[in-house]
Structure 1
Amino acid sequence: MTSPEPTPHGPGTNPPGPLPSPRRRRRRWLKLFFLLLIAAFGFANYLGYRHGYAFTHYAPAGDRPPKPESLSFGQKLRLGLTGVSVPRPVNARTPESVGLPFTVVSIPVRHEQLEAWHVPHPTAKGVVVMGPGYMSAKDSLLPEVQALHDLNFAVLLIDFRGAGGSPRGDVTLGVREGGDMAMALAFAKEEWPDLPIFAYGFSMGAVAVLKAVAVYHAEPTAIILDAPFDRMISVVRNRLRTMNVPAWPAAELVVFWGGRSVGIDGFAHNPADDARAVTCPTLILHGTQDARATGPMVQAVFENLPGPKQQVDFDGAGHEPLARFDREKWKQAVQEFLNR
């Protein structure tokens, strides 16, 4: 008589159940896949919100962060997770620092006040209303103010809401700032009715000039656009590329959430389209090595301008106010344009 064969299970143990069918295994994998997909979607939107909010809201005043191009890989990775915190721009200097007298002016705009500096000229040919760029207050344009004063023009230099001596701490990359520029131009026309009124802006300030004319129906005698960009989505894509972050879909998420956080539609903020409504004479200044307002972006704005227009390129210049790159060339280009 032979003994029974031993079973693989010890006393008191239950034999394993049947293996899951291939169909059930596929369902488990699909469930896991969709959970991971939902988690990735949520995390991507979280990062988009962080970056979009940081892009459109200034932090408390402090040291300006370094340019993304100069950051190490570790710094870029950390900022990729947290967003680039930009301190609120403040004015560290006044026109007196470049030897020019000035008065502080308040311009009412929607129950708030813009702070501006009026730099007079005893024999002014006209008044140039000036708006600074993103992450900058009005003192950033003092070299241009000095050059315009040399050319016998008075200046009204404004802080957009969100920067310098003006209220708030958020920024809309030219949308709300277009209304600020329009109010400043209207103020200048009322204060100096016998003088031609010109508008000048750098980067975001240039876009604000376009918005003031196209949307708020401002009527300057002529405008000067220094490093304008064509679309908000283009600016965000270029900014992400400098941090070695894939532009898609990160740029779309930043524009969506950044716009939502300040109450605008970032995808509809297209200065190249605003240019179609500008019929006054326009001078565009462009640095050929500008990685933020690139040649194709500037060209898109230039091609859509229906009125008299001119573009002057500064070979080798990056994204910087061009009066500092080549002061004499800047003065010559501006003088010939404004005198015309």
Structure 2
Amino acid sequence: MARTSSRKPQRLRQLLLLAVLGLVVVNAVAFFHAWRFTHFTAEAGPHTDNPEHLTPLQKFGVLLTGLKNPKPRNQVTPAFPYRTIYLSSPNGLLETWYSPVARPRGTVALFHGYTSCKSKLLTEAAYFRSVGYSVLLTDFAGNGGSTGNVCTVGYHEAADVAAVTRWLQRRPGSVVLYGNSMGAEAILRAESELGARPTANLIECPYGSMLETAANRFQSMHVPPFPLANLLVFWGGVQNNFWAFDLDATHFATTISTPTLLMWGEADPRVTRQETDAIFANLRGPKQRQDFPRSGHEPYWRKNKALWEQTIAGFLEKQ
């Protein structure tokens, strides 16, 4: 009996040690993934493909090593006339392309998504120019030609949106903000928490919250989101000096009275209908919703060009 009873504390210590080691390993993995997710590297080459496009072996590799995240670079320049302007933001110097038109109806400021840059929005910018708007395309801090290498998926980027909005509002005409994914998230936080007051918003596929988008990414890889998604959000915020659980567009929407067009792709694997419904329901001001059939987490003009242009034009006519 004495020998049996002496083994129990030993087993308990071993189990406790294994639990502690497991906790350390899981947090170390989450810390590493959070760093790779929010810090771009200087190396050239493509970034890791979207989760839904990876093979099972590639998904396993990403789980082990994290994302490959080279700093996004602008590979093309506008075909329309423009000039490069550098604007100051709390996050550093922002590289922008400014293209005024004759007798503008206003200016549309365009903001890109995660692992992207302003050159990815040239099709949208050309369309806005065709309907009478000047355009200003901005690389968020850490992306493209702007300074730094850090990306917080919409939180600190909101300060870039606010800086651009203030710069445009010192000039004549209305200011319309256009953003997709991370860009849309940054727009909503800039208005909700940083005092940005544009004339109107055109936002595509903002995610409900940082936790939801992290969970959706794990689910798209067929990996249970808990606890890695929670730890990824926690460490990503700690590493970048903010509480990432507060990055929540569903909450931001409750304080926004700006006329807003909210757009979503019905085949989007990373932003759910439920998230989009909640954001739309919480918007306080005049609002319009348009869903795009067959479109995923991508520019909606690719598969629904006529509907996208018609929706944008109709909304802008009311502003």
TM-score range, shorter chain: over 0.9
Partner Cα distance (2:158, 2:142) in 1: 13
Answer yes or no: is 1:263 the counterpart of 2:241.
yes
Aligned to 1:149: 129
Partner Cα distance (1:271, 1:238) in 2: 15
Normalising by the residue count of structure 1, what TM-score does the alignment of the two structures yield? Answer: 0.91
Partner Cα distance (2:57, 2:271) in 1: 26
Answer yes or no: is 1:313 the counterpart of 2:291.
yes
- AA aligned to 2:132 is N
Aligned to 1:23: 5
CA apart distance, 1:123: 2.8
CA apart distance, 1:112: 2.6
Partner Cα distance (1:35, 1:113) in 2: 48
Note the residue ranges of structure 1 that are not aligned, 5 or more in a row.
1-18
Q: Which runs of structure 2 are paired with 1:179-198 in the superposition (5 Å)? A: 179-190=159-170, 192-193=171-172, 195-198=173-176
1:278 to 256, 272, 281: 256
Q: Which runs of structure 2 are paired with 1:168-317 in the superposition (5 Å)? A: 168-190=148-170, 192-193=171-172, 195-317=173-295
Aligned to 2:87: 107
Aligned to 1:43: 25
1:69 to 39, 52, 62: 52
1:95–1:119 contact (8 Å) kept in structure 2: no
- AA aligned to 2:54 is L
CA apart distance, 1:20: 5.4
SS of 2:232's partner is helix
Aligned to 1:95: 78
Note the residue ranges of structure 2 that are not aligned, 5 or more in a row.
none
Q: Which runs of structure 2 are paired with 1:108-127 in the superposition (5 Å)? A: 108-110=88-90, 112-127=92-107
Partner Cα distance (2:164, 2:312) in 1: 21
SS of 2:250's partner is helix
- AA aligned to 2:53 is S
Aligned to 1:6: none
Normalising by the residue count of structure 2, what TM-score does the alignment of the two structures yield? Answer: 0.96
- AA aligned to 1:263 is N
CA apart distance, 1:265: 0.8
Answer yes or no: is 1:78 the counterpart of 2:58.
no
CA apart distance, 1:110: 2.7
Partner Cα distance (1:251, 1:261) in 2: 15
Deviations 1:243-283 (A, max 9, x none): 22210001011001111111111111111111111101000
1:283–1:337 contact (8 Å) kept in structure 2: yes
Partner Cα distance (2:279, 2:182) in 1: 13
Identical aligned pairs, as a percentage? 34
Partner Cα distance (2:259, 2:189) in 1: 15
SS of 2:93's partner is strand
Deviations 1:215-248 (A, max 9, x none): 1111101101111111000000011112222100
> RMSD of aligned C-alpha atoms?
1.3
SS of 2:156's partner is helix
- AA aligned to 2:60 is L
Aligned residues: 317
2:220–2:270 contact (8 Å) kept in structure 1: no
Partner Cα distance (2:3, 2:47) in 1: 60
Partner Cα distance (2:166, 2:180) in 1: 20
Partner Cα distance (1:174, 1:72) in 2: 28
